[in-house]
Structure 1
């Protein structure tokens, strides 16, 4: 059902259809913006139960947390607190001497060679709460199937790489990721504390997520590990299993965000100045391959679809969201969504949203 004033635009009708009974999502909010204004916004579905979703609610960001961490990484590098070219052997001198020349930047570009994912609680148990134990495990040889030039040539999208970068940031600064995000990113963007909400977001602000952990159960089985199937989690609890297990904001997931917060981040990358230097953004987006620093690159068959220009960059979140930024057209398209099935491929839906948004 449509929320707010009736809208007849094709994109509004499409979103309303996605959120109807038997549809793909329980809730979706789409924003089309340029550097100065919101051009269009529509929310469909329900925040919780039968309560209609209104614009401005807070969604589980899932991997849309990663662009925030990339922004933090550039901010810390600019202040000299944690350089991007720091070798992992330097960041963690007690571990991983065999890894070679992999750097923190390699982690953020998904080219370090570290494995994509493993269920950390099943692997580490109670040791997961010890940052040194976690770092040692993440730097163990079994999680690095590719290293050196092979890792750089064969990019592997990795949650674990961002978890490891987060540990390096906390180790170097003596502060939690939640505090670092709020101090170096949220505050300069004029936002209320964001990282602090990750551990205890007010349930009344949160959009219900009805996804269970089926996908993680399947992935764990592929590693000969057994996870129990669990029902959807309470509002304010991350859907991501490793973020839940870490019980704090992690480098790969854990934030709960509103559209305005995500737009503020997107606009900073489109027109840097408050947090990022233009030169840092240019360097982060430079290079080839499927990934920039903290972002994916445009591809016709990926989440962006063909309507974005070739220099566009963006990211997705497992719960259903995406953020795509087109510097050539000066356009941002943000999707915040909670899908209903982890077996659903959201990319065709994202591409259709982008196609319809191009007409606005």
Structure 2
């Protein structure tokens, strides 16, 4: 198949003195955003100040774009995915964007920065974790409170010992997941099974990356905020950041822009416009562990907010202190909800200790390094047509190392060959 490459360098408007194009999503008037309980607004307007850190150098942009283009073209030639897009930037704006391939094998719809992707487990940080950060900073949730304070109906042996911190660091004692969809496809029945799942380990003893723990945290967000999870994250995170193409359960009108994922015979063929994760799908498309769809354009705005200490374009979503608290390493390769770089991780070998990010099963990743003021994003549908395709791991690492090398970051982690 011929390699389709969309090549471009985005020179930021702040360098050229030009305004944003017509139709650019803008944050809503914060005066229209009611305060959270306790009088603390979920988002707030702040004075516009120049982003700290290095400037957006056009020559650096070209160097990074060339590096990313080589990595992405190799990935396409290696059939790592039918199409994908990589974005690198700083808090001040985009450095480079490279899109390759098409949204599906054999079609003619080229990938661009408005292609909509199932971001899989990036849902955990874009939605659940960011929501919890807001609720903690407003004093409405406590990390060291028992989970049963917020979900008293979650009962069973030793569950009274599980704290919110245990859940968000994947140390609750819950298993990774259960194939409940093989037992039932009813959302209420799956929810009942999750709530009844016993602990496999003692709380705090063992770290196991758990979709079940994430699901419970989503329920806690709903209980504390009084809003459905999908409505909360749109209202308090995505809309304030101008992320107009980010949400759970995308509408049918988006279908031509959505990249299909895996062929699933139980769901009638290739999954298109519905969440790939089976448990999230049968839960109605909304869960804290999976379900969000987004674009490169929107995810870059999300990353810029984090690198800018929680604010973007005059709207504050998080406090800098909250970001520091949640992105500090807790144990092994985990912060509070976030992944931390480690030997052999997809963050590569040149990132600083302050780096945080996450990966997604469908072929997505985001890494942000505040020390070097840089982020690297990859969006792809590597599970199309089958999940038995591990090549995207090398792509993530090569992108991160290439971008960090271009900005002069030294090697900080030992290299580990990837399978």
TM-score under structure 2 length normalisation? 0.74
Alpha-carbon contact 1:88-1:102 (below 8 Å) kept? yes
TM alignment of 1:331-342, pairs within 5 A: 331-339=374-382, 340=384, 341-342=386-387
Residue aligning to 2:89: 33
Q: Matches of 1:85 and 1:123 in 2, distance apart?
A: 34
Aligned to 1:319: 362
Aligned residue for 1:353?
A: 399
Correspondence for 1:17: 74
Correspondence for 1:216: none
Residue of structure 1 equivalent to 2:201? 146
Structure 2 residue ranges without an equivalent (≥5):
9-61, 407-419
Structure 2 Cα separation of the partners of residues 199 and 75 of structure 1: 27
Distance 1:15 1:141 in 2: 41
Using the TM superposition, give the Cα deviation of residue 107 of structure 1 relative to its aligned residue in structure 2, in angstroms: 1.4
1:198–1:254 Cα contact (<8 Å) kept: no
1:60-79, Cα deviation, whole Å (9 max, x unpaired):
10001111110011112233
Structure 1: stretches of 5+ with no match in the other structure: 214-227
Larger Rg: 2
Superposition CA RMSD, Å: 2.4
What whole-Å deviation, never above 9, does each CA across 1:114-166 have from its counterpart, x for those lacking one? 1101123234443x336xx72x4324353x1012232xxx2111111111111
Partner of 2:42: none
Check whether the contact 2:73–2:100 (CA below 8 A) recurs between aligned residues: yes
Whole-angstrom distance in 1 between the partners of 2:293 and 2:253: 7
1:48-59 aligned at under 5 Å gives the runs: 48=104, 49-59=107-117
Cα distance in 1 for residues equivalent to 2:360 and 2:350: 20
Match of 1:343 in 2: 388
Provide the C-alpha distance between the structure 2 equivalents of 1:105 and 1:198, rounded to a whole number of angstroms: 31
Partner SS, residue 4 of structure 1:
strand
Partner of residue 272 from structure 1, selected from 310, 314, 320? 310
Correspondence for 2:124: 66
In the aligned structure 2, how far is the partner of 1:201 from the partner of 1:161? 33
CA drift at 1:263: 1.6
Query: Quick check: 2:185–2:282 contact (8 Å CA) kept in 1?
Result: no
**Alignment partner, residue 291 of structure 1:** 334
Q: CA deviation at 1:94?
A: 2.5
Question: Which whole-Å CA distance do the structure 2 matches of 1:189 and 1:279 have between them?
Answer: 19
Q: Which stretches of structure 1, 4 residues or more, deviate above 4 A after TM superposition?
A: 5-8, 196-201, 228-232
Counterparts of 1:321 and 1:246, CA distance in 2: 22
Paired residue secondary structure (1:297): coil
1:28–1:44: 8 Å Cα contact kept in structure 2? yes
What's the secondary structure of 1:16's corresponding residue? helix
Which structure 2 residues correspond to residues 1-360 of structure 1 after superposition, within 5 A? 1-5=3-7, 9-20=66-77, 23-48=79-104, 49-68=107-126, 69-98=128-157, 99-126=159-186, 128-129=187-188, 134=191, 136-142=192-198, 144-150=199-205, 154-192=206-244, 194-195=246-247, 197-198=249-250, 202-209=254-261, 211-212=262-263, 232-270=269-307, 271-273=309-311, 274-286=316-328, 287-339=330-382, 340=384, 341-345=386-390, 346-360=392-406
Q: Distance in 2 between matches of 1:161 and 1:110?
A: 7
Structure having the larger proportion of residues in helix: 1
- d(CA) in 2 for partners of 1:232 and 1:163? 27
- Paired with 2:361 and 2:326, the residues of 1 have a C-alpha distance of 23
Q: TM-score, normalised by structure 1?
A: 0.85
